Amino acid sequence: MLKPILLVEDNPKDLELTLLALARSNLANEVVVVRDGVEAIDYLFCQGEFTDRPRGNPAVVLLDLKLPKIDGLEVLEKIKAEHDLQSVPVVILTSSREEKDLLRGYSLGVNAYVVKPVDFLEFMQAIQELGVFWAVLNEPPPGSARLSKHGR
């Protein structure tokens, strides 16, 4: 079974547009949606309401930066600090190219940093390319999936 894509997005319109873009890219991966930083952590660490979810890491995390409760950069930091999650690709999707966010993102080990284009057609194209690259082509380093299969 394909690993799901984790989409972390609080804005409903952005969410809808991103989901539409993902749908049009003909990816077979399931898209799991969480709406803030805390939910994202809970999902990734199988805790809170996600305690009983099927084990396994997502194929890619699409992460908005401005999130309620815990912001995107903090979520990124937690992912990259956790051994079992380190190899999960994280793509930051953000409204604006803010120099200091970008630098912080890269210093925390983000895999890609995408500024959402204003034009929806361009946005769609960007999402499709991302999806194909990270969810399909980019095979995570061996070990991470296996490890998670055996559980902790």
Partner 1 sequence: MSDPRGSKGSASCDTDPIHTPGSIQPHGVLFVVDEPDFRIRQASANAAEIWNRSIESILDRRLDELTGAGSVESLKKYAAKVSIERNPTLVGTIALDSIAEPARFAVVAHRIDGCLIVELEFAPNRIDASETETNRHIQEFLFSLGEVADARELARRAAADVRRITGYDRVLVYRFDSDWNGTVIAEDRDPGMPSYLDLRFPASDVPAPARELYAKNRIRLVVDVESEQIPIVPSLHPRRGEPVDQSYCILRSVSPIHIEYLKNMNTAASMSISILREGELWGLLACHHRTPRKPSFAVRSACDFIGGLLSMRIASSERTAYLSEKIRLKSIHEKLLAATASADDFRDALVDHSRLLFEYISAEGAAIVQNREVRLIGRTPPEHEVARLGEWILEHGSSEVFHTESSHQLLPDWDRFHDRACGVLAISISKLYPHYLIWFRPEAIRSVTWAGEPLDPDRLDGGLHPRASFEAWKEIVRGGSNPWSRNEIEAAIELRNSIVGIVLKKAEELARLSSELEHSNKELEAFSYSVSHDLRAPFRHILGYAQLLRELEGGSLGDEGRRFLDNVIDSAVQAGLLVDSLISLSKTGQTALNPVEVDMNALVHEIRRELERDLRGRNVRWIVGDLPPSVCDLTMIRSVVYNYISNALKFSRGRDPAVIEIGGRVDGAETIYHVRDNGVGFDMKYVEKLFGVFQRLHRVDEFEGTGIGLANARRIVARHGGRTWAEGAIGRGAVFHLSLPRREYGG
Residues binding partner 1 (CB under 8 A):
11, 13-14, 17, 20, 66, 94-99, 116-121, 123
Least distance from C-beta 76 to partner 1, angstroms? 17
**CB of 39 or CB of 64, closer to partner 1:** 64
Q: How far is the CB of 20 from partner 1 (least distance, A)?
A: 7
What number of residues does the chain have? 152
Residue 26: phi and psi, rounded to 5, are: 55, 40
Q: Which two tokens stand for residue 111?
A: 């895999």
* Structural contact between residues 36 and 48, judged by C-beta atoms closer than 8 angstroms: no
Q: How far is the CB of 55 from partner 1 (least distance, A)?
A: 35
Q: Which is nearer to partner 1, 73 or 88 (CB)?
A: 73
Which residue number, 18 or 57, has a Cβ lying nearer to partner 1?
A: 18
Bridge partners (DSSP) of residue 7 are: 33, 62
Task: Report the residue number, 1 or 121, with the smaller CB distance to partner 1.
Answer: 121
Report d(CA 94, CA 143) in Å as an integer: 30
Helix axis angle for 99-107 and 72-81, nearest 10°, is: 10
Least distance (Å) from partner 1 to the CB of residue 118? 3
